[in-house]
Structure 1
Amino acid sequence: MPGPRRGAVAQPASAASAPAPTARSAIEERRERRRRRRRLAVIWTSAAAIVVLLGAIGSVAYAIMSNVTPEDSAAEEQQPPAEPEAELLQFPDDEPAATPGAEPCTTVRVLSSFENAEMVENLATAYNSQPRNVAGSCVTVTPSKDKSGLAAATVAAGFPAVADDQRPAVWLPDSSTWVDVAQSSGATALRAEGTSVGTSDIVLAMPEQLAQAVGWDAEAPTWTEVFEAAGDSELWSGLGHPEWGAFKLGKTSPLMATSGEAAMFASFGTAAGGLETLTARDVADPAVQTVVHENELATSHYMATPEHFLWHARQAEASGSAADFLSAVIVDEKSVWDYNRGIVSRDGVSRTQEAPPAEQLVPIYPSDGYYAADNPAMRLTGEWIDPVESEAAADFIRFALTAQGQEVVRLSGYRDLNRVLDPGVEQVGQLRVGQAGVVAFPEPDVVTAVQAAFPEVRKRANVLFLLDVSGSMDELISPADSKLTQAKKAIEAALGHFTTGDDIGLAAFAQAPDGAMVPGLVAPVGDIGASRDAFLHSLGGLASMGDTPLYQAVDTFAGQQAASWSPDRINAVVLLSDGENDAPNAATIGQEQMLENLRNLHHSTPVLVFTLAYGADADVATLQSISSATGAHYYDATDPSKLEAVLGDLVTSF
């Protein structure tokens, strides 16, 4: 049985892939071929190392290795007999202390990703509910969360902006690929060992009626077929559903979220000839990058977390159908379960419970393999962690591997270390059990090569920054900065996200005494590789003035962006405003007409209007309605000190 992938965290071994079928131009022909294709027999086996606690500090090591062996033969009766299944892991019972240790309690801070934060919070609650005594001290586990990519960068830098008493002792990212990213950036705070606490397969999720129409609910496609279908602008019309428009594929940013990484690994793998054989040399191959770029053209736009996409799907259902916003999205199983049970999150951080959607999502497990987020628990090392805290961190990880901890993992929507799901999660999420197809993540050098290549292969942007420069932007938010000067700094920083080939422009709006909207377009939309200096010069020259013709500005510049709309680009406006519509000196468009115009554009030449509320006086409700009308996202910088971070988050959509 092959061993786990190289790296700090043991992961499932590669599953053998079925040969990818030859690509066909007609989706119906591909479906008919799949009907004729004999299903391969697969065997899932697993084994695990022992959990050990070493010395006073303690360390945990755990490995899960899986092997899937398809045997193809001319006739089913000639297939070799199945090998016996490996015995399931036996999880030990938790052993809490008879009485808690002395106060003050040792605090163990655990940093998680946004995707797995609920599981980590539930593990912390369960651990804290029992008495703990580590080296004579009681223990309290306190979780925090951040986007995977940002957390990896923070770990790599050694938490320079975090006070010692707030730094974590455990990092539990959504995937061990982020450990690879942190290590490649010179992380020194990571111990050598880590352990998976649970998994969530990364799947293609589709509204059920769309999956049925294309036949993928019955017979899973290969990744090649997924990307090919996503690039077929007439797919739904050919299947009798022109009302669904073009195929709209949603992805998170591979620089921020595990599902986005997995999507890129699958795209590079299929372009290079196989998910399991992908190398860094393949990633650098111009011919491979060309194919990957073509695959990316089907992407509607990128988002920072799965919750961003799924929130918009619920909004689309409320006004018609989820298919208006989304044909398919690459997410983890846990997100599918959340969606189907009615969990929504507008901002990707806070979560609310609503009624389950009428249009449920179904997970599709591509037939040539799929990845699984492995949730590695990594103890950290640093001068801020004393020996008792380190030992307490090891005790928390030990708990996660007990019968009680693994029950928490299952109830939180994840597969335990035997790949077992909670029956309720399985039913609501329509998740599959017993299937074998998990493919190991690529080697660390491939992970970092894919991240480095993303700026070159991603779908290009056609973006206009639209900045409110009304008189209120003169308000000081620090002794050194007004709202306007702070906004200029944030836009300049965000500009670093874009590269040659992205078309970027700048407009600003206020109302002059004669009723005219000024200054208007100050840096025409053009390739930022050639226009960056001119853009920054125009940005630096902006001054505040007059009132706030918000509706007129949005209507005017969204229309201009629609006039240059291209299906091969993410067409968008990034609107930053600190106030309400206020245009007393001229008759301008009203709110309802502006929103109606945006909705009409969305169905013909869709322009995403991302809105950012800047400062406490921003018209949050209106900005949210503008973004919702266009299928874009609203961002909150009502605390102006957070503007640069929020705008940096926003531009990961491109």
Structure 2
Amino acid sequence: MSDLTGRNQPPMDEPVTHHGPPGGGAGRVLLAVGIVLLLVVVAGGTTWWMYTRDPAPTTNTAPVRTTAPTACPSVKLRVAAAPEIAPVVRAAAKKLDDNPADPCDPVEVVAEEPGATVAAAAKPDVWIPSSSAWLGIANAGGAAFTAQGQPLAHSPIMLAAPAAVTDSLSKGGQTSWAQLTGAVAAGKIPAVTMPDAQATTVGLLSVYAINAAMARTTPDSGIAQLRALTLRSRLKDASADPTALVARVAGQWNTNGVIYDVGIFPILEQQLKVYQHGKHTVQLKGAYPADGLVEADYPFAVAKNNQDEALTKKLRAAITGTAITQAGFRAAPTPRALPLPAQPAGLLAPATMWSQYKSLATQVLLLIDASGSMNQKIKAPGGREVTRAALLRESGKFAAELFAEDTTIGMWYFGQPTPTSPAHQEVVSYGPITGQLDDGTSRRAALGKAMDNYRAADDSGTPLYQSVLDGVTEMRDKVSPGTVTLVVVLTDGVDGESTFKMTQAQFMTKLAGEQDPSRPVPVLSVGYGPDVDMKALNEMSEATGGKAFAATNPADLSSAIAKAFLAAHAPR
């Protein structure tokens, strides 16, 4: 089969080989509590590393060692290695034991997740994490590791699923993060599971790859982030252990051959090869995301205070390329790999946003300006003339896809076309975004339809202040523990030309009187166009604990909306 770039790739229904995808990066760590890699010799002399699993913890835990260090006084070199490569390193260390009668080897190899090494007070003499990225993260925290030579091994990250699920992942054997995101948003995939982006390298680098893929779909960074979070908001599990996922798949089956509680998940090519050679009942297929492929690499890093340089060099030499490839890794980097950011923050910032995006259920009331000024024409990208209302429709089409499954939401239009008209009207009733309206339409679909059908009435006034007051009052009664409750306002003008008109001072006095610290309702406001009163919007939002965003160019409306929603889900 071929990937999206047209280059040939291994068929998804066959064991993957070393001639896989174009692209990659660096990194891979599995926060595998209680998972031990055991050496298994497969018929024909090929060595593979298989997994056994202790009962999985029921709650998230910090990274831990899978093997405890010994207290042998004869140990000259202490090595921490990622669990999946630790057996290779341990076998190499055995070759350096010149006294078989001594139960303590001169080189002690601990199978340890990189996150545990970073967190530990005592650092090893030699560190072989599953990503070069961890060296920068550890050194930024005060460690002093230096990589010697090229990485020992490589393994690209794939998207895998039971065979019956994989068919929905790709067409003609091709896949991409953008394709997966679109399919998830459309409900065409039963489940997607991701490792913890802050604790595992598969998760960390997958999030980076997803954001890189979304950046290719739009020049606007805010929209790209939101599109990435579209996938995040639909995850079945956002903090899974990828090795445990493989174990779950191996131990589950149903009459249709579909494991719905796992679905699609990222995995190392090496892990998938190990699984496929294990002849499990549930067949796993894999595909390489052509629009954002990253790879794990395994640097041989030496601590500054390493006391035995000679033994260190011998250990490095004893880890042979043959042993690496027999264990299911690649000896060379994946061609055309995605480069990773030079600074740790380039990986950690999107991982933090991703990991904490859905930490609280969200309650949102959208207030959309439907006043007459929305029908004014402006210059859109490319020089075309379009009304602000039309631009809003274009920019807001995808907004309904961005809300997490645990969002409760409603939408009002505000405007006063006649002196007797109310300040606002409800266009989508408030309720769970996954719920159905009386006509059988899902609330998410109704939001999308409302944006498509959005029109502004000519000569309609702008009762902005009254609508915000009413919205805050409406949402305050809905505030409950464990939720974020918001009013999101989109307007291009100032309050006025309606029977509800009031001065800013009057409005701020009323808004202050509505505040209840025990039931906060932040207002996120987006103002755009030459007529918007950003000073008023800033003061309004700040008074409620929210934020205001200006889109000085009306064509930047999508970016402003994106910033507002990102602020709503920013880590707190």
Which is helix-richer, 1 or 2? 1
TM-score normalised over the length of structure 1: 0.42
Determine which structure has more spread, i.e. the larger CA radius of gyration. Answer: 2
